[in-house]
Structure 1
Amino acid sequence: MRFLLIFSVGLFGIQNAFSQRDTLDPKKIIKLDDIVVSAQIEPQSIRKSIKNVQVITEEQIKSLGASNLGDVLNQYVNITVVPSGESGRSTVSLFGLDSDYFKILVDNVPLVNEGGFGNNTDLSQINLEDIERIEIVEGAMGVTHGANAVSGILNIITKRKTPNQWDISYSLQEETVGKEYNIKDRGRHIQNFKATHNINQNWLASLGTTRNRFMGFLGDYNGKNVLYNSQGRGYMYLPRTYWQTNALVNYHSQKFNTFYKFEWMTQDIDYYDRNIKSAYNDRWGAYKYGNDKRYFYKRQFHNLNLNGIGWMNYDFSFSFQKQTRENEDFRYIISQKTEADNRKQLIESMQVFYSKGNLNKLFYDKKLALSLGYEATSNKGFALVDAEQNRTREVQKNIDNYDAFLVSEYHFTDKFSTSIGGRYSFQTLFDNQYSYSLGTRYLFKDNYEWRASVGRSYRTPDFYELYSNIIFEGHHFLGNEALLPESSLSVDTSLKKLTSFENGATLKNQIGISYNTIKDRITSALIGYDGATPKYQNINISEYKYINLSSPNKLIIHNFDLNIGASLTWISQLINNNQYQTDSRYLLNIVGNVGLSYNIPSWDTSISGYYKYVGKSQLWASTANGYVVSERDPYGWLDASIKKNLLHKRLELTLGVRNLLDVTTVSRTLLTVGHESSSSILLGYGRSYFLKLTYNLNINY
């Protein structure tokens, strides 16, 4: 607490280092205040928004040279990106809550994955080249975004306009993976093509495709063609190939707009068995092999949006999405470098019909804004799960909900606004659910902005938690069809200060505190033994609370752009499965970040650096003997890049280094009475260098 107070007071005090003048230049307000749409009745500036909205721009994404969404979010102070070398997935954690509580949307439509809708999204399966900006809202968003928007939402706004008749771009990015790189089978290789055409003053069409080939990271392993277990077969991070193709048709007039967006995504991941086995047949004689796999992900995304203004403003979306995962199991004959006994089958799928609409209108000389909306979701899930005696069984279920919500904003004056909202959800699989929210915003003198809100949200169990069973020798991990929805109550408040100075500098300071409590939290807990084999099952056994104190700050002075932030999060998790339990103590997590960019206009060049410090953090860990506190060691993450425009901005050259501090793993220690044991958590694949070239062709005739 003392650290963050000193940090915030120090940054607020920076103001006096420049000037005693404390007036805000309206031009700088416009520069700082992006127009946002997330959690708003209608598009409006951040300054007018009752919710705090963080914006990541296209330029910031470009300066990072990011290869996936995880590279972008890794610099966000309250977000932790959680990679998995074993599965190839990368997900997000906010306030210590995993991706099941954080909703990811594309143009306000939740994004499907093979096990859910909007949550547990694999960040590596999102195309960065089509993003105009990213809007992040922290806290309870259950009223406007329904189930599972407990810790917040991330809304990806895609590109739907261009000032030119034709915009054609092609980019090529080459990146080392740690020290590993060659053009054939090491490193990362990314290509992107996009063409956008203004057909006339009303119609626009675009087509784009992206290929991202990650050749894996060997680390301490030696690939697939080793013959002995002592040689370390496989990869630390699995190889994968990502393809995404998208198309857009947009019609725009003065009072009406509609667009249809299509996306097709595939991602193939190669898995290599760590254990080498021996066998014999008449064809090859004695041979070595591994039981290898390939994971095939496919996603189709359709979204039709209609919006316009009239007596009442309206916005309707109709979406169909489907994502599947197929596994191909085969025996890789190492000595022959060939495959045998290939078997391919569907493992998981999620098919979703989704529609959301709202009508909004201003009353009483625009003082009162009302929005009435609905959300309808029909999920059809499939999973092939493990069963007893080494068998499998198919699970097919429909999970549907039909919601209605009402949000109102009343502007008492230009400085004072409040918002009240409520949602009721009719559930087919669970008891009906509800959410509510109350928020307020007040603009004080000297450009101080105060915001506060309270809200109730809920999370419904996903397909994994309900139905998946993983049964293998030594462990049983079981789903639970009797799970109940979780409920959460959150409260947050923040104070923001905007200051401009006589020398042209602009400073934005903010400090905020939030509290959230979650009841009936779903946790995988030890429920007993089958002989000597421990059995774990998802059950509603825990209560989760967090207190977050954070302070993001921004300074713009001439061509410098400096961001400094810090966050303290105290997490309490009370778990009781009638056999083992935790206590309700609060465990502390500390994060800080610094981002600096410098623009050199005469060279048409920008230089950027981003550093994130993650302090020593604690959490409860489940062991065969009960729950114990585990500690993860601190680490720092540093990215840097330089971007240069050439040929009158037709050519963009970006050079950079990711993970400059060469982080790969961090130690995690289990703290038990009289004994400590350590293990490693995989965080990255070491220092990597990248080069990106983008050619932009703008045609007007």
Structure 2
Amino acid sequence: MNSRNSLKILFYLLSCTLWAQEDLKKVIALDSVVVSAQIEPQSVHKSVKNVQVISKAQIQKMGAVNLADVLNQYINITVRPDINTGKQTVSFLGLGGNYFKVLVDNIPLVSENGFGNNTDLSQVNLEDVERIEIVEGAMGVTHGANAVTGILNIITKKKSRLPWEIGYTLQEESIGQEYNFLNKGRHIQSFKASHSFNDNWYVSVGTQRNKYSGFWSDYKGKNYSRTDGRRGYRTSPFETLQSNALLSYRKDRFNLLYKAEYMNERFDFYDRTAEFVFSPIYGGYRFGNDRRDFYQRHFHHLNLNGQYSQWFYNFSFSYQYQKREEENFRYMIDFQKEINNQKRKTHSMKVFYSTGSVSHSFANKKYNWQLGYELTHNIGFSLLNDEGQTLKKVEKEIDNYDIYSVLEVNLSERFSLRPGGRFSYQNLFRNQYAYSLGSRYSFDNHWEWRASVGESYRTPSFEELYTRSVFMGHAFLGNENLLPERGISAETSLKKTSLWDEEGMLVNNLGISFNNIKDKIHNVLLDMNNGTPHTQYINISRYQSYNCLISNNLKLSQWEITLGGSFAWISQKIDNQRYRTDDRYLLNINANTGVSYTIKKWDTSISAYYKFIGKSQMWQMSSTGYVIGDLDPYGWLDISLQKKFSNRKIELTLGARNLLNTIDVGLYRQTLSGEKTRLNYPIGYGRSYFLKLTYNLNINY
């Protein structure tokens, strides 16, 4: 799509944005209460920052199993699958998961390579989610390192109006066209029970099992013995078990919450080609050098919040631990037997974390002031492949101790300002700081304008600091001398809400943002040895991006319709004196639309979600240096039907994902001689179908 057509789309959507309903005589409740990045819970339209809310009802309509299923349909967010590891990470506003923070109830979630960032979305369970809040823009003041492009906060359920709630869910899903009960498809079961002892005490427990049997495609499974490279699976099978428990106490102005979660996950990897060997014990047999990875994650969270006199307080304490163990073995295909099993820990991350704040309102709530802290003690471990085919253990502590302050000034009912600042003491890097200034102005007829500017920072990840993978002929190196990045972000938006009758609402939003990152960390090409790359993470590249977003959301009686578009211009310059890129701006386009229709008489909803990812450009390494890679455009279409029976005790959801059957997308690179090469860039596992059945037993006595 050329720039001229892009501008046509932009002005068309802008004309939709400026549509308004002027004669508004009836005011209706239209705002949900949000807590992310707020001094105290407040409605969306009073928030100085733009907050996007994804409700539990929307998640249920999608039949989503994990966070990746939900975010795959949202504008400016790209879910990136890794067929080698099974991970699914997020790219937001053109920047990867290192710049975007994922939290659960305002607590960052530990991952293999970070704390709150680089989160594997496939490991985030949604069965206990009340809603998801996404805040765009620099969030370094309130959320510290790595919140450069924004945050995603998962809010879980913490209370119930009923004495007992018991639910069981069974979901069956094909993987592409592949499905059976034994070794194909996706099989999910989940259970949750909660009990309100009285108005003060609430407890809940839950568990979920998710078995993904792998995408076979044209591969033949682990017992295939030919040497044609078709052994194993296109994407590896895995199985995840997650359990959680929650205890909540509420009385007067005091709230206490404890939550624990345990995750256990197993990935299986198979050699693509079988080999033959003769053994004095077994004779001649064919085998594969296979591997399985085991992930474990523990999560413990204690929160105290409430009010003392005129002061509000909120304190959280968390212990999290995630590790990955690797088991290598020889699989004897003829005997279907494993031998020479060797298991070892390869990565782990242990975090002791606390955050807290006190806040107070002055002058009849004209001034809201918040003072907060964040303490993080992070112990990382990695087993590295070093020179001479040796293994090297690295265990390092990464700590930060932060203090921040935010002041929200309500100059009038219409106009608010919000300055803030943070100072961070770092044990491995130079001390860091962040600042921001946000503003909101409400015009007549439900027009809202917001603008903010801020500077945030990103500290190097454990992988960037200590990776060392050295084999014959190539090396991928970390760098312990990396400096933290600093990023300046600015954004402004104009929002119009139009209301009519009791069930009609149209929300139009136009937003423009800018990011400028200095000392950007990048894995750069240092040398080519006989066509084999030697790379290392260094502070060398400069990154700038401009983003324009248009979104339109219509709710009218039984209809919900969304339409949005995003245009991003990204410039990244890399120059290590030998290999370099220029500073041209590369265009990336996203668009999405969603339609949901509810038949109230039948208690049935029909939904469809479509996302278009336009032609994307990026700098890539080649045997001659850096070249521009062009990723073909593609679309992603999901549909679902949700029906409720027996006074909503039974919920049935039928649907299809990826109806356009997107599996691979062409990634083209042009050499200096002008020759174009095509690589397959994996996106999904094809068109799939799912059925989800939930039974809810609610007891009221």
TM range (shorter): over 0.9
| Residue number among 173, 176, 187 corresponding to 1:175 in the alignment | 173
CA apart distance, 1:5: 3.1
Q: Aligned partners of 2:471, 2:218: CA distance in 1, in Å?
A: 26
Q: In structure 2, what is the Cα distance between the partners aligned to 1:25 and 1:496?
A: 19
Greater Cα offset, 392-401 or 109-118 = 109-118
Q: Which amino acid aligns with 2:658?
A: N
- Give the equivalent residue in structure 2 for 1:563: 562
- Structure 2 match to 1:5: 10
Following superposition, the deviation at residue 227 of structure 1 comes to: 1.2
Aligned partner of 1:593 in structure 2 is 592
Equivalent residue in structure 1 for 2:265, among 267, 274, 285: 267
Instruction: Output the CA distance in 2 between the equivalents of 1:68 and 1:238.
Output: 18
- C-alpha change, 1:255 and 1:106, in structure 2 (3 Å) is same
Kindly tell me: are residues 477 and 81 of structure 1, through their superposed partners in 2, closer, same or farther at Cα, counting changes over 3 Å?
A: same
**Structure 2 equivalent of residue 99 of structure 1:** 97
2:20 pairs with 1:23: no
**Distance in structure 2 (CA, Å) of the matches to 1:378 and 1:585:** 40
Secondary structure in 2 matching 1:191: strand
For 2:533, what is the secondary structure of its paired residue? strand
Question: Where in structure 2 are there 5+ consecutive unaligned residues?
Answer: 1-5
Measured in 2, the distance between the counterparts of 1:350 and 1:530 equals 34
Report SS of the residue matched to 1:47: helix
**Do 1:330 and 1:343's aligned partners in 2 also have CA atoms closer than 8 Å?**
yes
Per-residue displacement from partner, 1:383-403 (whole Å, max 9, x unpaired)?
Answer: 000111000010010000000
Q: 1:407–1:420: 8 Å Cα contact kept in structure 2? A: yes
Cα distance between partner residues in 2 of 1:566 and 1:366: 38
Alpha-carbon offset, residue 470 of structure 1: 1.6
Matched residue SS, 1:259: strand
Q: Which residue of 1 aligns with 2:114?
A: 116
Counterpart in the other structure of 1:684: 684
The whole-number CA distance in structure 1 between the counterparts of 2:18 and 2:99 is 36
Is contact 2:229–2:272 with CA below 8 Å preserved after alignment?
no
How many Å separate the matches in 2 of 1:532 and 1:53? 47
Q: Is the 8 A contact 1:22 1:499 kept in 2?
A: no
Preserved CA contact (<8 Å) 1:369 1:408: yes
SS at match of 2:388: coil
1:322-471 residue pairs with structure 2 within 5 A?
322-471=321-470
Distance across 1 between alignment mates of 2:301 and 2:381 = 23
Secondary structure of the residue aligned to 2:225 is coil
State the secondary structure of the residue aligned to 1:602: helix
Shift of 1:231: 5.4
Matched, 1:634 2:633: yes
Secondary structure of the 1:689 match is strand
Change (3 A) 1:286 1:481: same
Counterparts of residues 277-292 of structure 1 (less than 5 Å): 277-292=275-290
User: Alpha-carbon deviation of 1:473?
Assistant: 3.4
Q: Is the 8 A contact 1:24 1:499 kept in 2?
A: no
Distance 1:142 1:402 in 2: 14
Letter in 1 for 2:189: Q
In structure 1, the gaps of 5 or more residues are none
One-letter identity of the residue aligned with 2:537: N
Size of the aligned set, in residue pairs, is: 694
One-letter amino acid matched to 2:678: S
Contact persistence 1:86–1:236 (CA under 8 A): no
Letter in 2 for 1:625: T
Give per-residue Cα distances to partners, 1:358-387, cap 9 Å, x unaligned: 000000111000000000000001100011
Q: Write the deviation string for residues 119-163 of structure 1: whole angstroms up to 9, x where unpaired.
A: 101011111101100000111100000000011110000110111
CA distance in 1, matches of 2:473, 2:216: 28
TM-superposed CA distance for 1:232, in Å, is 0.5
CA distance 1:700–1:501, change in 2 (3 Å): closer
Contact between 1:465 and 1:479, CA under 8 Å: does it hold in 2? Answer: yes
Tell me the amino acid that sits aligned with residue 2 of structure 1: L
Where does residue 548 of structure 1 map in the other structure?
547
1:689 Cα deviation (Å)? 0.4
The superposition leaves residues 300-324 of structure 1 with CA deviations (integer Å, 9 ceiling, x where unpaired) of 0000000001221000000000000
Q: Is the contact between residue 561 and residue 596 of structure 2 (CA under 8 Å) also seen in structure 1?
A: yes
Q: Secondary structure at the match of 1:509?
A: strand
> Are 1:670 and 1:676, in contact at CA under 8 Å, matched by a contact in 2?
yes
1:233 is displaced (CA, Å) by: 0.9
Q: For each residue in 1:190-211, what CA deviation from the matched residue of structure 2 results, as whole angstroms up to 9, or x when unmatched?
A: 0000001001110000000000
Instruction: Judge which range, 226-235 or 47-56, deviates more.
Output: 226-235
Q: Does the 8 A contact of 1:24 with 1:447 survive in 2?
A: no
Deviation at 1:502, TM superposition (A): 5.2
1:7 deviates by 2.8
> Which of 151, 158, 164 matches 1:160?
158
Tell me if the contact between 2:526 and 2:579 (Cα under 8 Å) persists in the aligned partners.
no
Structure 1 position 558, deviation (Å): 1.0
1:32-181, aligned counterparts within 5 Å? Answer: 33-181=31-179
Letter in 1 for 2:663: T
The aligned residue for residue 497 of structure 2 is 498
Distance 1:25 1:355 in 2: 45
Task: Name the structure 2 match of 1:700.
Answer: 700
Letter in 2 for 1:11: C
TM-score normalized with structure 1 length: 0.97
Structure 2 CA distance for partners of 1:203 and 1:389, relative to 1, 3 Å: same
- Code of the aligned partner of 1:23: L
The Cα of 1:118 is off from its aligned counterpart by 0.6
Is the 1:222–1:231 contact (alpha carbons within 8 Å) kept by the matching residues of 2? no
Indicate the SS of the match to 2:46.
coil
The 3 A distance-change label for structure 1 pair 444 and 14 is closer
* Counterpart Cα distance in 1 of 2:445 and 2:19: 16
Letter paired with 2:605: S
Please name the residue that 2:255 is paired with: 257
Moved more, 341-350 or 62-71: 62-71
TM-score, with structure 2 as normaliser: 0.97
Distance 1:676 1:435, change over 3 A: same
